[in-house]
Amino acid sequence: MIKFLPVFILTTYYSYANIQDKPCASKQIPGESVVCVCNATYCDELQRSIPSKDTFYVYTSSEGGLRFRKQAGIFATRSDELRKFHLVLDPKKTYQKIQGFGGSVTDAAGINWKSLTPTLRKSLIDSYYGIRGLEYNMARVPIGGSDFSTHPYAYNELPVNDLHLTNFTLAPEDFQFKLPMIHHIMNTSKVPVDIVATTWSPPPWMKNNNEFTGFSRLRTEYYQTYSDYHVKFLQKYKSEGVSIWGITTTNEPTDGVFNLVQFNSLGWTSAEMGEWIVNNLGPTIRNSEFKDLKILTCDDQRYTIPTWFAGLTNEYPEVLQYIDGIGVHFYGDKVSPAHYLDMVTNKYPDKFILATEACEGAYPWETSVILGSWNRAKSYITDIIEDLNHNIVGWIDWNLCLDSEGGPNWAKNFVDSPIIVFADRQEFYKQPMYYALGHISKFIPRQSYRIAVETSEGSDNSVAFVTPRNTTVIVLYNE
């Protein structure tokens, strides 16, 4: 055991709630855990309390139905009473700094959000970005359409072969759904919201198959046009009052190489992308008004990372001058983080890793939406703790909300979401996954840094941070 402190043991341990806190209006789902119901007059809220010296708060969620149950206690030195379970923190062993946590403003999220009354819309955004919600501080937005749209689309679809993008305008979906939701989010958050933007597919005419999906590559004559496409998007969003923090270099580039999905994609090999970044995207962004934009590459499954990096840098090592980090998706997270994530932080210590997309129910054999699923909350919390223990700087969830089918999605690729909206009843349900995310996002603000923690049960079930408020946060998962 590390000898840097007297042994502190909690002595007093009592239930505690702020007058402003509102508990979960729980609804038991048969065979599952509970969901928390929000309606026109009620939605659960939690005020995060900052403990004074030698005191602490404990927040607990459980399969049995606790949701952020708050307890308070006082530390005291009673080394005679060492419990069986203990944990050891080493604040001198420090790791990555946190950028943030958030969810995605897809058309589907915006459509469901808009189907609610203004009161419930506010409650939904407060639930995620508010000071009494999960205190999210990041978001991801598709550039044009994704599968979570009612139809496939891109900007400047017409005229075709328009090298200089003379007809680049935002889509009706931007004005009706995405921008209003983002504006509401920006108004709600107490800190700047870092937004990551991603293209799924450019207009079909830029691609060699002239389709939104299927096997495809960017036509080489449009390498520069596709870079300009990103700058035009950044300008349009800026003129609508939304500044973008980062872009990724295309969503899941291997989708369009192996054609495993039925939705909007653009295929890239890493070597082709290296060429595009070095000759087009990198210089275009760095010489534009958006020179400080973060450029994240990969934006694909964990298992693709080592080969992606090798392919990018083999012929085009200058890629490393242009990229700030890599985005990683959740769906292949069964592979070892030690090999697939640590290779980035070990080999390229100045590049960060951000988890850019995650959802449950994504595989064809899985049920899209399972109300009250505790297993899905477990999957989220264990994945986030694992990622954080392997130096990721943030974690962005997929659709902020969906309907009870897990859509809308034009390609019928329905999935689950931490918030499910019932427009007919004017209610939404907060799933167990919502609280799993909250145990992380609410307590680990931007600029927190990770410190070493070990429990008597090993180190896989916990992660610890020192926050800019000089508090220590420990997230423990007890299966």
Cα first-last separation, the chain: 24
CB of 180 to ligand NAG, least distance (A): 6
Q: How far is the CB of 437 from ligand NAG (least distance, A)?
A: 22
Q: Which is nearer to ligand NAG, 4 or 42 (CB)?
A: 42
The angle formed by the CA atoms of residues 176, 178 and 181, to the nearest 5 degrees, is: 95
d(CA 456, CA 306): 33
**Least distance (Å) between residue 88 CB and ligand NAG:** 21
| Nearest-approach distance from CB 263 to ligand NAG, in angstroms | 21
CA–CA dist 228, 455 (Å, integer)? 50
Between residues 79 and 470, which has the closer beta carbon with respect to ligand NAG?
470
Of 151 and 469, the one with the shorter C-beta distance to ligand NAG is 469
Distance between CA atoms of residues 186 and 241, nearest Å: 10
Residue 124 backbone dihedrals phi, psi, to 5 degrees: -70, -45
Return the closest-CA partner of residue 261 out of 271, 251, 273, 269. 251
- Please confirm, yes or no, whether 457 is among the known catalytic residues: no
Pick the catalytic residue: 252, 275, 360, 427?
252
- CA 262/CA 270 separation, integer angstroms: 21
Closer CB to ligand NAG, 94 or 187, in the complex:
187
Least separation in angstroms between residue 121's CB and ligand NAG is 10
Of residues 20 and 167, the one with the C-beta less far from ligand NAG: 167
Nearer to ligand NAG, 11 or 161 (CB): 161
CB 300 within 8 A of CB 254: yes
Active-site option among 135, 173, 275, 357: 357
Residues that bind ligand NAG (CB under 6 A): 25, 37, 39, 41-42, 158-159, 167, 169, 183-184, 187, 469-470
Separation CA 17–CA 15 (nearest Å): 7
Q: Is 405 an active-site residue?
A: no
- Per the CB < 8 A criterion, the answer to whether 17 and 48 are in contact is no
* Token pair recorded at residue 353: 């890793």
Q: Report, in Å, the least distance between residue 25 CB and ligand NAG.
A: 3
Backbone angles phi, psi at 34, to 5 degrees: -100, 155
| Listed residue (144, 149, 116, 130) closest to 193, CA to CA | 130
The DSSP code for 175 is I
Cα 168–chain centre separation: 28
CB of 242 to ligand NAG, least distance (A): 11
- Element housing 110 (H / E): helix 107-114
Inter-axis angle of helices 107-114 and 118-129, to 10 degrees? 130
Tell me how far apart the alpha carbons of residues 394 and 232 are, in angstroms, rounded to a whole number: 27
Looking at the Cβ atoms of 39 and 375, the one nearer to ligand NAG is 39
Catalytic residue numbers read 252, 357
